[in-house]
Chains A and B, each alone.
Chain A
Amino acid sequence: MIWDNAFAISILPILLQGLWTTVHITVVGTLLAAGLGLVFAVLRRLAIPVLSKVIAFLVVFVRGTPLLVQAYVAFFVLPSYGISFDALTTGIVVIGVNYSAYMAEVYRSGIQGVSKGQWEAATALSLPGTRTWGRIVLPQAIRTVVPMLGNYLIQMFKDSAVLSAITVVELMATAQAIGSSNFRYLEPLTLAALLFLAVSYPASRLVNRLERRYAPQH
Chain B
Amino acid sequence: MRPSTEPQPRTSGVALPPDPIIRFENVSKNWGTNHVLKSLNFDVAPGEKVSIIGPSGSGKTTILRILMTLETPSEGKVTVDGDTLWDVSLGQKVRETRQLRETRKKIGMVFQQFNLFPHMTAMENIIEAPIHVLGMNKAEARERAAELLNLVGLGKHMNHTPPQMSGGQQQRVAIARALAMRPKVLLFDEPTSALDPELIGEVLNVIRNLAHTTDMTMLMVTHEMRFAEEISDRVVMFDNGAAVESGPPAQIFKDPQQERTRSFLRAVLQH
State if A and B touch, Cβ cutoff 8 Å. Answer: no
Interface set of A (CB-CB < 8 Å, partner B): none
